[in-house]
């Protein structure tokens, strides 16, 4: 399964197109911080610029801009909360890519989650919880990561009725259960996997193929997966 909640930027497979877009954004943002009336547009442009820089692996430049932005946001008060959360998300991603997992985890838990609460954005909170689970899993703390997926992230997507995120989350839970390798978890693992695959196929989601591939790696051929999906 690909990392949860990470959408690839448009044309990221075409470095030339990304560079041209970065040049356009640099010109657009050259004037510095705007009046509050234009803050949303400015924040959106910076968010795109950081996304593209990180897609190209330009971590030093991205970190310099992130540091500057985080120093600017306080003067805009509540208007900056959303874009501060987005910028912190990029910083946590950057630290994760560099293997600085403790720092990434601190940002997710101590800075992003409180901002999600201030914004009243339950979906953003669930996404951040998923990011926290990924960091914990990468740190070898699978039990803690699994608890967050099961008890904190999954119920939010169920409450919101966000089917795509439910598919991804349940597939990730199945993957974690498989890694833990407890025989008593087999029924739960296959249940999550079969449900996720069935719904991904029904909604024609791109996740259907990697879920089926994961099932095969776990010893569940397509015919078995289909049979399990009938009762999942």
- pLDDT, tens digit, 9 for 90 and up, residues 175-202: 999 999 998 999 999 999 999 999 999 9
| pLDDT at 139 (0 to 100) | 96
HEC-encoded secondary structure of the chain: CCCCCCCCCCCCCCHHHHHHHHHHHHHHCCCCCCCHHHHHHHHHHHHHHHHHHHHCCCHHHHHHHHHHHHHHHHHHHHHHHHHHHHHHHHHHHHHHHCCCHHHHHHHHHHHHHHHHHHHCCHHHHHHHHHHHHHHHHHCCCHHHHHHHHHHHHHHHHHHHCCHHHHHHHHHHHHHHHHHHCCHHHHHHHHHHHHHHHHHHHHCCCCCHHHHHHHHHHCCCCHHHHHHHHCCC
Higher pLDDT, 204 or 6: 204
* pLDDT tens digits along 76-111: 899 899 999 999 999 999 999 999 999 999 999 999
Name which of 186, 156, 160, 161 is nearest 174 in CA terms.
Answer: 186
Q: Which residues contact 22 (CB under 8 A, 6 or more apart)?
A: 49, 52, 53
User: Largest alpha-carbon pair distance within the chain?
Assistant: 60
**Domain coordinates of the chain in residue numbers?**
1-120, 146-232
User: Is there a contact between 200 and 211 (Cβ–Cβ < 8 Å)?
Assistant: yes
What Å distances lie between residue 2 and 6, 29, 44, 159, 187, CA to CA? Answer: 8, 32, 25, 24, 24
Buried b (16+ CB within 10 A) or exposed e, 66-78: beebeeebeebee
Q: How many residues does the chain have?
A: 232
* pLDDT tens digits along 106-140: 999 999 999 999 999 999 999 999 999 999 999 99
Please give the model's pTM, rounded to 2 decimal places. Answer: 0.88
| pLDDT at 8 (0 to 100) | 45
What Å distances lie between residue 152 and 14, 104, 128, 147, 149, CA to CA? Answer: 37, 19, 11, 8, 6
Banded model confidence at residue 12, pLDDT cuts 50, 70, 90: low
Report d(CA 159, CA 40) in Å as an integer: 29
């Amino acid at each position: 399964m690909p990392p949860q909640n990470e959408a690839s930027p448009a044309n990221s497979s075409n470095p030339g197109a990304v560079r041209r877009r970065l040049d356009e954004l640099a010109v657009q943002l050259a004037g510095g911080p705007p009046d509050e009336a234009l803050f949303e547009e400015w924040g959106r442009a910076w968010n795109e610029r950081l996304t593209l820089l990180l897609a190209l692996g330009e971590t030093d430049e991205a970190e310099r801009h992130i540091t500057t932005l985080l120093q600017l946001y306080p003067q805009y008060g509540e208007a900056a909360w959303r874009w501060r959360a987005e910028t912190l998300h990029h910083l946590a991603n950057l630290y994760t890519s560099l293997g600085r997992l403790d720092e990434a985890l601190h940002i997710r838990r101590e800075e992003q989650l409180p901002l999600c609460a201030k914004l009243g954005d339950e979906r953003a909170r669930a996404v951040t919880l998923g990011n926290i689970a990924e960091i914990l899993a990468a740190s070898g703390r699978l039990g803690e990561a699994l608890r967050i997926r099961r008890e904190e992230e999954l119920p939010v997507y169920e409450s919101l009725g966000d089917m795509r995120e439910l598919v991804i989350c349940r597939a990730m839970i199945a993957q974690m259960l498989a890694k833990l390798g407890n025989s008593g978890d087999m029924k739960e693992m296959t249940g999550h996997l079969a449900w996720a695959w069935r719904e991904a196929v029904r909604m024609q989601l791109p996740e259907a193929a990697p879920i089926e591939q994961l099932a095969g790696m776990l010893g569940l051929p397509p015919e078995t997966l289909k049979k399990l999906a009938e009762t999942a």
